[in-house]
Amino acid sequence: MKSPATDIDLPIAQVITCTEAEGPGRRFALWFQGCPLRCPGCCNPEFLPFQGGQRIPVATMTQWIFQTQQQQAIEGITLLGGEPFAHAFAALALVRQIRKRNLSVMIFSGYTLEQLRQRPEPEVGELLALTDILVDGPYIREQPETQRRWIGSRNQQIHFLSSRYRFDETWLQRNTLEIRMNNGTITVNGFPAAQAAGLWRGWKRKKPLPLIPQDK
């Protein structure tokens, strides 16, 4: 396999540098632009086209993550979609870098682990090997999750692919929804209770977030 380099670009739809709504602890969350799946009720339809978003070099993103680690004590990154495994080569290049600082890796994928293990691309296998937690499977609107924190629908499985994390009470606490206002733009992340769905529609991402802070 050609080795993923740090000068290749990540197609990015959104970044939240420090969140507690996308997995254990404080995490740097990164949404890819582009998903080949079409789950009815997908929370992020604007992230489905492979066009759009911003192209950010792996080296720039790595520096941003390491800076956030120093400033906000994040313990890992979370990759979401769009579909991270539709961008496995670029995602692997990033994960190889951030592993050098012992940051953990969590991925939400619309594919099942079984499907991913059957994929022939070596970058998919290596990305799985460097992942601590995989939440797999498509989002099924008719099966909303009500017990497990951070999970969208009941069909989705949590796979602990390393010994770094395990299923404990933090996975059973109330779900977390974060709302931010930044320069007049409101963003929402995390998975809301079913009765709260739709509350923020209309003011979600009326214009794209500036992905790179002004001081970078």
Q: Does 35 bind ligand SF4 (CB under 6 A)?
A: yes
Q: Minimum CB separation from ligand SF4 for residue 117, in Å?
A: 17
CA atoms within 13 A on the CB side of 34: 16
Q: How many CA atoms lie within 13 A of 119 on its CB side?
A: 18
> Considering beta carbons, is residue 23 or 97 the nearer one to ligand SF4?
23
| Dihedral pair phi/psi, residue 187, rounded to 5° | -120, 150
- Helix (H/G/I), strand (E/B), else coil: 205: coil
Minimal distance, residue 149 CB to ligand SF4, in Å? 18
CB of 42 to ligand SF4, least distance (A): 3
Based on the shown chain and the rule CB under 6 A, indicate whether residue 197 belongs to the binding site for ligand SF4. no
83-102 residues near ligand SF4, rule: CB under 6 A: 83
Peptide bond before residue 81 is cis, with ω within 30 degrees of 0 = no
Residues contacting ligand SF4: total by CB under 6 A:
14
Whichever of 30 and 39 has its CB closer to ligand SF4, that residue is 39
Can you tell me which of 11, 76, 110, 190 binds ligand SF4, judged by CB under 6 A?
A: 110
| From 30-38, 92-100, 128-136, 155-163, span contacting ligand SF4 (CB under 6 A) | 30-38
Exposed/middle/buried for 148, CB within 10 Å: 0-12, 13-18, 19+?
Answer: middle
Q: Which of residues 129-168 bind ligand SF4 (CB under 6 A)?
A: 138-139
Residue nearest ligand SF4, CB atom distance = 110
Helix (H, G, I), strand (E, B) or coil at 69: helix
100, 104, 138, 208 from 153: Cα distances, Å: 33, 23, 8, 27
29 binding ligand SF4? (CB under 6 A) = no
Burial class (CB in 10 A: 0-12, 13-18, 19+), 58: buried
Alpha helices, DSSP H, located in 99-188: 113-117, 122-129
Segment contacting ligand SF4 by CB under 6 A, of 15-23, 53-61, 76-84, 184-192: 76-84
Choose the stretch contacting ligand SF4; rule: CB under 6 A; options: 8-16, 41-49, 141-149, 163-171: 41-49
> Which residues are at the interface with ligand SF4 (CB under 6 A)?
35, 37-39, 42, 44, 47-48, 81-83, 110, 138-139
